[in-house]
Amino acid sequence: NHFCLAKIVERNYERLMKKIHVLLGQIDDVIVQAKLLERNEEVEFKSAMLTKMAGELWHALEQDSRVFLKRGKN
């Protein structure tokens, strides 16, 4: 039973890390693009995208944490 739980945790951790890696890559791309832009309007738009991506990352972390906690209680 402990082995099964450890496998579930490991699988969820791997999925979470993949999601984080993808989102951080997107954030890095936005930062690079923002640094290359000269106009404030476009930088502000990119900042909004960065805020949205950070929110998506937070949401993904919350969802995976809830799944993990539910499985741990069973």
Tens digit of pLDDT for each residue in 1-18? Answer: 778 888 888 999 999 999
Q: Are 53 and 30 contacting, i.e. CB atoms less than 8 angstroms apart?
A: yes
DSSP assignment string, 26-50: HHHHHHHHHHH---HHHHHHHHHHH
In terms of residue numbers, what domain contains 40?
2-73
By CB neighbour count within 10 A (0-12 exposed, 13-18 middle, 19+ buried), where does 67 fall? middle
By CB neighbour count within 10 A (0-12 exposed, 13-18 middle, 19+ buried), where does 58 fall? exposed
What average pLDDT is seen over the chain? 78
Residue with tokens 């990119």: 46
| pLDDT for the residue numbered 72 | 60
| pLDDT for the residue numbered 45 | 62
Number of compact structural domains in the chain: 1
- With a cut of 70, say whether residue 62 has pLDDT above it: yes
